[in-house]
Structure 1
Amino acid sequence: MGDILFLAHRVPFPPDRGDKIRSHHLLRTLARLSNVHVGTLAESAADRAGEADLSRIAASHFVAPRVKPLALAGAEAVLARKPVSLAAFHCAALERWVRMTIETREIETIVVFSGQMGQYVPERFAGRVVIDLCDVDSAKFAAYADAGQRVWLNRREARLLAREEERLAGRADATILISEAEANLLRARLPARLAERVRVIGNGIDAARFDPAASAPHQALAARKGPQFVFTGQMDYWPNEKAAIWAARELLPALRRRLPSAELHIVGRSPTRSVEALGARAGTSVWGEVPDMRPFIAAADMVLAPLDIARGVQNKVLEAMAMARPILLSPAAAAGIDARDGEEWLVCEREPGAMAAAAACLLADPARAAAMGAAARRFVLDRHGWDALLEPLGTILAADPAQARHAA
């Protein structure tokens, strides 16, 4: 196999958020198959610090700073009639590096992680192109618009991204999605010849790291009297922000009517002002960024995932399952993970009374709650190991691109 050019919209180190966890493991798998040259962008000090790790795994790399203000990206997108998502991640220096790398290295395959990076694949590149879209992002923006969030902007983004997703599916020899639900959504939008190229590679979990035996519960939570409910995530991501606000304002009061000493802990970096303000509410603590999420999960009597907008596979759910915690989640958060309701988790419609009743019923039976957590960990060990999930990648990269395009 010739060299691989890997393009990711964020530095895959450290693997501390959903997209970076996936790109990190994807890169490690690619590096076992061939020499990998990595082009990516950095938007934080942690990203820039990750370049040292990147240099140890990549045959060569280029990290471009992502400093373009969103307002400028929006203006560029309007003028070019492109999605803001593409303008925000466009960098002329990275574009030049990609061209130079293709000209000076024996690049046989370009692997693109996230749709924003498809713009860097040269039209004249004759080798294999594999694009991991992860999710159908256009559907996410459509859902934002349907929820009343910046309706005009999000409908525009949804429309233009859908066009870009179809373009990328036509350019790629294989297009990868994170779940069958996401894959079927994209397939339904494509002509049959392109739908045949859509593949599924799910999200995994590092079960050795997220092992209940390897992390002690957070002392402050463990010392508290009542049941502790924990919600984790990147708190400036709108679906997480919206879910956190709902959990504090709607769900926790319903829980406290049944479990008077119940407390809610919102844990995750970059909380918005609206999320930070929740810390003033009785029974709610907003922790912000923490050095290690595992002690909070380990201390939880129950982990919550009450999202009403979600795409693909929720890493927060896999982490809680790996930590053998009982988890209560909405149908949206459950999508993409084929666990059994009542066995490995509890799925409940996002209605405060119903969720509170389900939580109280389970916590009243500690043996059942412990058995559910144990079953959840067995599930992720059996079904969501990264090595097994990424094994098909070698077959995808071994396919003859000319034959694949001709067959389609």
Structure 2
Amino acid sequence: MSGDILFLAHRLPFPPDRGDKIRSHNVLKALAQIAPVHVGCLAEDSGDFAYEHELAAIAASYCMPRRSKPLPLAGVEALARTEPVSLTAFRSDQLKSWVKQTLAEQDIAAIYVFSGQMGQYVPVDWSDNANGHLVVDLVDVDSAKFEAYARDGSGPRAWIDGREGRLLRAMESDLAVRANHTLLVSAEEAELLRSRVTGGADIRALRNGIDCVFYDPSDVKPLVEMSGEGPHFVFTGQMDYAPNIAAVTRFAGAILPAIRVQRPDAQFHIVGRAPTAAVVKLGDLPGVTVWGAVPDVRPFLASADVVVAPLTIARGVQNKVLEAMAMARCVLLSTEAATGIDAVDGQHFMIGESNAALISCALQLIENPAMRDAIGQAAREFVLNTMSWPAMMAELPALMGFDGKALCDAA
């Protein structure tokens, strides 16, 4: 097949500094090696426009309107339309017009939809086009996440999350049936979606990779500020994201205090942009430091004795875990955070299935630096050998309908 590709993403894929943007960034780079790519995405704030030149450098053409609809307004509109809030929140008349014009004027052979919210921009008759190819990358099953929020919540918020989960589930099913291929970040997420889709659909995993050159511990100096008392536990992530908030609250409130009974010098560092007021408040607890946004997480990882990821709700593959593994750090994580990473507990990381287990593992790792180092080195070897981005993207040309095309052809 010949022709161009239309790539639609709910956020600008630059810079690749958070989970979804890391994946969209690397997918976009791979698509650009296959064919010219026309990119439609949304800017979240004025800061995104500082990276517009990077988008312009890779895209044959692009449209990036500012997403400015207030969430309460999106909620009212969603109620009126009986659709998910996350759909109305990412609706743009400007982007819709640009997509229509691009499909009319350019030789678009395939469309890659990144995140379910962007499926609304694909004409309903596109899948009826014998020459057109549609790939939908849901990344993970968002509807299941909102269903979990509803189960764990109460009052109006639980009702809102339950409604969002039901409507997203129907939208995900519809997109999967329309698409030539629907991609998820892990085999577990793919199987979950298959169990929820009514009608025939090709659903498969396209796993996340890791940039092992960027996350190379030999090129990173530890932080002077973390060279003193310790041991140091580090968590990285977007700190206005509910699962991350729950994870650091769990560690700071229920796990760290038990560790400090035996090791009063233990420190917990929360690293990531946009910490909520509740997260900032955790900095008042003994041994807890909230760093907020930092220019580079690698020095924090390099300074960690143990990187922790005690998530209770985790969809897909956790980039934070892969980054720490690539940095040869020993990662202590929950069963949920280990999902989608085919590593071995006790060899490449350590899993704790409960607070008590996490506390026990943490104390064991603190007292055994040789064990920590061995796990960290094995973790880096694992991601080097099995989870590089080029390896993960090798099937992309065939998935897009460009059979016989290798990514290196246009490199």
State the distance in 2 between where 1:169 and 1:246 align.
35
How does 1:166-181 map onto structure 2 within 5 Å? 166-181=173-188
State the distance in 2 between where 1:221 and 1:45 align.
33
Secondary structure of 1:75's match? helix
1:330-361 CA distance string (max 9 Å, x none): 0111111111000000000131x321211111
2:333 maps to amino acid: L
State the distance in 2 between where 1:395 and 1:98 align.
24
Q: 213, 216, 239: which one pairs with 2:218? A: 213
State the distance in 2 between where 1:193 and 1:333 align.
30
State the distance in 1 between where 2:277 and 2:391 align.
41
Instruction: Quote the residue 2:87 is aligned against.
Output: 86
Secondary structure of 1:14's match? coil
Secondary structure of 2:30's match? helix
Q: 141, 147, 168: which one pairs with 1:142? A: 147
Secondary structure of 1:269's match? coil
Q: 389, 393, 396: which one pairs with 2:396? A: 393
Q: TM-score, normalised by structure 1?
A: 0.95
How does 1:178-327 map onto structure 2 within 5 Å? 178-191=185-198, 193-194=200-201, 197-222=202-227, 224-327=228-331
Shift of 1:258: 2.1
| 8 Å contact kept, 1:308–1:350 | no
1:256-285 CA distance string (max 9 Å, x none): 012221000000000000000111111100
2:46 paired with 1:39: no
How does 1:129-168 map onto structure 2 within 5 Å? 129-148=134-153, 150-168=157-175
Instruction: Quote the residue 2:406 is aligned against.
Output: none
| 8 Å contact kept, 1:305–1:329 | yes
Shift of 1:46: 3.2
**What number of residue pairs does the alignment pair up?**
396
Secondary structure of 1:164's match? helix
Secondary structure of 2:322's match? helix
Instruction: Quote the residue 2:11 is aligned against.
Output: 10
1:166 maps to amino acid: S
1:128-187 CA distance string (max 9 Å, x none): 110000001000000111111621001100000000001101110100010000000011
1:194-223 CA distance string (max 9 Å, x none): 1xx11211011111001100111111012x
Shift of 1:44: 2.1
State the distance in 2 between where 1:399 and 1:213 align.
38
1:63-122 CA distance string (max 9 Å, x none): 010010000000110000000010000011100000000001011111100000000001
State the distance in 2 between where 1:124 and 1:3 align.
18
1:55 maps to amino acid: A
Shift of 1:190: 2.3
| 8 Å contact kept, 2:230–2:267 | yes
| 8 Å contact kept, 1:306–1:350 | no
| 8 Å contact kept, 2:133–2:401 | no
Q: TM-score, normalised by structure 2?
A: 0.95
Instruction: Quote the residue 2:72 is aligned against.
Output: 71
| 8 Å contact kept, 1:216–1:295 | yes
Secondary structure of 1:102's match? helix
1:223-281 CA distance string (max 9 Å, x none): x1220000110000011011111111111101101222100000000000000011111
CA RMSD of aligned residues (A): 1.1
State the distance in 2 between where 1:398 and 1:239 align.
36
State the distance in 1 between where 2:47 and 2:15 align.
7
Q: 378, 381, 385: which one pairs with 2:384? A: 381
Gaps of at least 5 residues in structure 1 are 401-408
